[in-house]
Amino acid sequence: MAASAWFGASMTGRGYRERAVAPRTVTAMCGRFVSSSAPDEIARYFDADETSEQALEHQPNFNTAPTTDVFVVYQDGATRRLDAFHWGLVPRWAKDLSIGNRMINARAETVASKPSFRSAFAKRRCIVPVDGFYEWKAPPPGEKKKQPYFIHRPDGEPYAFAGLWEQWKGPDRDGSEVTVRSTTIITCGANDAMSAIHDRMPVILPPSEWATWLAPEVADTDLLGKFLVPAPDGLITMHPVSTDVNSVRNKGDHLTAEI
């Protein structure tokens, strides 16, 4: 393993929702990813002290889409927790849950000032662990179909995406009150490796920044903003995959196979 702040412990080493929301297709950067590692492996890798029942019930999904539940690592006092939150941030002031459908990503350039994200950026930051993600390359002239690529770490370790989380309470469709914890993934400009297929990428945090990023008491947005930069090119490798990934109905491990 490379002796770099970007590389953490080996995977072999050391939530909360009260409402199900139906998945839907949303196109964005980052809009699809792989979540294939077992909860106990994720907990060990990110040094989580406790794992929620929702996280323990999380099933491997090689085509995770917005509005589904995703792993989240966050700090609760002195306890680092692994949980499963709704992907699509729902601000506390939202009138209903539908706003989360367009809040799956937050831009690094505006996350500290945009009303939808600034409170969470200052107080409720998290890590979204993923085993790789997909992005679509624009077709060459004369062709219509975009080519999907699977992007992952060369060493097979998981990515630690910088995220935010919120807790929302309000009426469900039937009028009953529900509580939903939700998350969003922060994106920044692409590094050279990623720019071959897209001009943006998720913010990937090295282990050396995890504790500061997760600490609720750290409210220095200037300091935190320095974390929101492209990852080194060496953390990115990619290959083309089947267009089967275009449909969220397909969730098997064949989706990451190179074509």
| Residues with catalytic roles | 30, 135
Rounding to the nearest 10 degrees, give the CA dihedral for residues 218, 232, 240, 65.
0
Q: Name the residue with tokens 């085993």.
A: 131
Q: Name the residue with tokens 């839907």.
A: 24
Pairing of strands 79-87, 50-51: parallel
Token pair listed for 6? 């970007």
Tell me how far apart the alpha carbons of residues 46 and 24 are, in angstroms, rounded to a whole number.
Answer: 29
DSSP 9-60: --TT----BS----------TT--EEE-S-HHHHHHHTT-SEE-HHHHTPPP
Q: Which residues of 211-250 are buried (b: 16+ CB within 10 A; e: fewer)?
A: eebbeeebeeeeebeebbebbbeebbebeebeebbbebee
Element (H, E) at 224: helix 221-225
Tell me how far apart the alpha carbons of residues 135 and 185 are, in angstroms, rounded to a whole number.
Answer: 15
DSSP 200-214: EEE-B--HHHHHHHH
